[in-house]
A = this chain, B = another copy of it.
Amino acid sequence: MKQDAAASIDFAKNGGVVPVVAQDYASRRVLMVAYMNREAFEETVATGRACYYSRSRRRLWRKGEESGNFQLVREIRIDCDDDTILLMVEQKGDGAACHLGYESDYFRMLEDGQWKTVEPRKVDPAKYGPGYGHHEKSGKSGH
């Protein structure tokens, strides 16, 4: 049955991955956008924890594997084109989905033509150790 659900996702359209929106189940905040390949999708379904695919590191990215900020998956939805996924999650750990310590990656808003930080930081990510960084941009392990 899980095979059927994965088979209907159009991974081919975007080079083997689909964009995935993670939204907080309680607060309805949009936390982040990441990507899944088929393997990541199937692991997410099997484990109930969000597993993404890091395009920069070219491997599965088990969200929270270093920080403890994992995501329990409450709902998995698919869009009308079968090419994006919406996860409704409980953000665990320190409640910070963002590797910079914010609840959401979207802590900056356009105001007067400038991106301004409009959210408080929830945690100092230095607590996760010196090797903790960003999977997509820096290529370091972490997030």
State A109–B84 Cα separation when bound (angstroms): 12
B109 touches A80 (CB 8 A): no
Q: Which chain B residues lie closer than 8 Å to A80 at the CB level?
A: 98-100, 102, 105, 107, 134
B33 touches A21 (CB 8 A): yes
Residues 63-121 of A contacting B (Cβ, < 8 Å):
75-81, 83-84, 86, 98-100, 102, 105-110, 112-115
Instruction: From the candidates B76, B81, B106, B112, name the one contacting A105 in the complex (CB within 8 A).
Output: B81
Of A28, A79, A99, A137, the most chain B CB neighbours within 10 A belong to A79
A113 touches B4 (CB 8 A): yes
A5 touches B79 (CB 8 A): no
Instruction: From the candidates B19, B109, B112, B136, name the one contacting A33 in the complex (CB within 8 A).
Output: B19
Instruction: From the candidates B79, B115, B134, name the one contacting A106 in the complex (CB within 8 A).
Output: B79
State A6–B11 Cα separation when bound (angstroms): 29
A105 touches B79 (CB 8 A): yes
State A106–B19 Cα separation when bound (angstroms): 13
A127 contacts partner chain B, Cβ-Cβ < 8 Å: no
State A76–B109 Cα separation when bound (angstroms): 6
A2 contacts partner chain B, Cβ-Cβ < 8 Å: yes
A5-B115, A80-B98, A81-B137 known, 8 other contacts, Cβ within 8 Å? A1-B114, A8-B115, A19-B33, A21-B21, A45-B110, A76-B110, A79-B106, A81-B134
